[in-house]
A and B are shown apart, each in its own frame.
Chain A
Amino acid sequence: MATWKRTRGFWVSVILAFAFFAVVQWLIASGTLNVFYVNTLFFMAINVMLAVSLHLIIGITGQFSIGHAGFFAVGAYASAVMTMKLQMPFAVGVLTAGVAAMLAGLIIGVPSLRLKGDYLAIATLGFGEIVRIALLNIDYVGGASGMTVTHMTTWPWVFACLFVTILVISNFTNSTHGRACISIREDEIAADAMGINTTYYKVAAFAIGSFFAGIAGALYAHHFYIIQPSNFGFLKSFDILIFVVLGGLGSLSGAAVAAILLTIVSTFLQNYPETRMIIYSIVLILVMLYRPTGLMGTKELSSLFKWRKAAEGGMNHGSKNTVA
């Protein structure tokens, strides 16, 4: 069947992803994975979600946004308010986080996406800082000392959110709508002249990206017991930006792989607190020297397997099994 041939790669990835889920679930349940590893795994998944959502904005649509931690923060706080202050269930918190971050994305995106390149970067950087300062000064959410949050994030939640994030973003990218976004990245004037509503697609990409950053925020808030505005400073935004650039601009699996690798590197380096940041920086410099277009360039992991001739800049669904 033609449809089966076309989607075989997709279903194989889905099966692999669920197999991975089952194995990890079993390892956690049987206690083989201790708390440290589980923490690292969750942190990895959250970073992958952030990286993939920013990849849609920067790598696909070409809008240089460096305020992603702002959306992450909005999601974290929105979900924490829902579950802690309003006693809502976790599911409501997660959904609220996404919607709140998406609204924030629309509010900041509609006016600032008229800007291009460096100017957009500065505007979004400003947005990230506004969020942080605002949270710092709202007593309702604890101000500088932050909010304590009950631990609710579990492996099924993390896996489900990560799975949906990657699925939605790769489905979006692999359609005429994703191609419209890529055409904006490649040449906005030509995209406009070809009948693409560039503002609409820039805002759409921004909204989808910030939605999933918000979801990641909810998982983060309910995993680490406490959230403080200082966790969401512009350095966090740069961390996410580094995942995307290091993985290769335009590659979803690249962003995911970079997020995983760098999470491992920085976790490992916690044993060497004095030299940690120096080594981390050297790793970044070396990667960029030897792989100037990022780890994956614009290629996808799935294009390594010849399931079908992958169009450049488009992507298959092959990256879910890399969440290891």
Chain B
Amino acid sequence: MAAKTPLLKAEEVGIQFGGLKALSGVTMELYQGELVGLIGPNGAGKTTLFNLLTGVYVPTEGRIVLDGETLNGLPPYKITRKGISRTFQNIRLFGELSVLDNVKVAYHAHARHSMASSILRLPSHFRGEQEMEEKAIEFLKIFQLDEVMHEKAKNLPYGQQRRLEIARALAAQPKVLLLDEPAAGMNPQETKELMNLIAFIRERFALTILLIEHDMSLVMGICERIYVLDHGQLIAEGTPEQVRSNPKVIEAYLGEEVS
């Protein structure tokens, strides 16, 4: 099933903020088409690892490799163009822009008309904009957001904002999608819909997904493999069953047994 070489690989990555080691020696491999979970107690370094993978921070140790290409030191926008896209723990939509424009922004990196052609309103501008608009509307239909496409993003209900953020991340046409707590603040019904949505987009776009989540039912339910972080270090990895019964994981979540 899985290809021999990993699509995305973190080799012994770590980062130090001043004297504080937020992450160290984390090795992680994602194969084409996998859905992998990343869990750990608060402050374990999950979001920091996301920030390293997307270039927000530059790792002070180790390497990040996508499709055989080292990403260390590339700015975030270049990493996105290479094929890693993400959502954020606290939703970061472009609030004043319409739902449609939010998606169009993600297409920008693939736009072919230049700034000069837009200023002079050359035919290539109209063609490019038209193409973007059609693609974006088509995309919003997949996510059932086409009915609200002229609304400002900030006026959407919470669940739709989450969905729009995922849609926007996908519009950037990534190979690997990183989801940072997509179910945060959702009720069980919404979480269930989200699980279906994730399964659906994975199928439809042949994606590789890495997911941070606190909702255990979600993680255990849909992830094939799980990595567990604690205090900036990887303490376990494996299938949901293996992780669930791993004493180190139980210790990290529930504390040490008194003996």
Complex-state Cα separation, A179 to B95, whole angstroms: 13
How many residues of chain B get a CB closer than 8 Å to chain A's CBs?
A: 42
Complex-state Cα separation, A195 to B107, whole angstroms: 9
Q: Are B152 and A312 in contact (CB under 8 A)?
A: yes
Q: Are B115 and A198 in contact (CB under 8 A)?
A: no
Q: Are B108 and A196 in contact (CB under 8 A)?
A: yes
Q: Are A193 and B98 in contact (CB under 8 A)?
A: no
Which residues of chain B from 106 to 146 have any CB-CB distance to chain A below 8 Å in the complex?
106-109, 111, 113, 115, 118-121, 125-126, 128-129, 132
Which residues of chain A from 48 to 85 have any CB-CB distance to chain B below 8 Å in the complex?
none
A137 to chain B, nearest CB (A): 37
Q: Are A196 and B77 in contact (CB under 8 A)?
A: yes
Q: Are A180 and B105 in contact (CB under 8 A)?
A: yes
Which residues of chain A from 166 to 201 have any CB-CB distance to chain B below 8 Å in the complex?
168, 171-172, 174-180, 182-183, 185-187, 189-198
A98 in the interface (beta carbon within 8 A)? no
Q: Are A192 and B129 in contact (CB under 8 A)?
A: no
Residues of A within 8 A of B86 (CB): 193
Complex-state Cα separation, A196 to B94, whole angstroms: 13
Summarize A's interface: helix, strand, loop or mixed: helix
Residues of A within 8 A of B119 (CB): 168, 171-172, 175
Given known A172-B119, A176-B118, contact A190–B97 (CB-CB < 8 A): no
B76 in the interface (beta carbon within 8 A)? yes
Which residues of chain B from 37 to 78 have any CB-CB distance to chain A below 8 Å in the complex?
54, 56, 75-77
B55 to chain A, nearest CB (A): 8
Residues of A within 8 A of B121 (CB): 171
Contact with B along A190-218 (1 / 0, CB 8 A): 11111111100000100000000000000
Q: Are B108 and A187 in contact (CB under 8 A)?
A: no
Complex-state Cα separation, A168 to B95, whole angstroms: 25
Query: Besides the contacts A190-B88, A193-B56, A196-B108, what 13 more A-B pairs have beta carbons closer than 8 Å?
Result: A176-B111, A176-B113, A176-B118, A178-B118, A187-B92, A187-B93, A194-B105, A194-B106, A194-B109, A194-B168, A198-B77, A312-B97, A312-B152
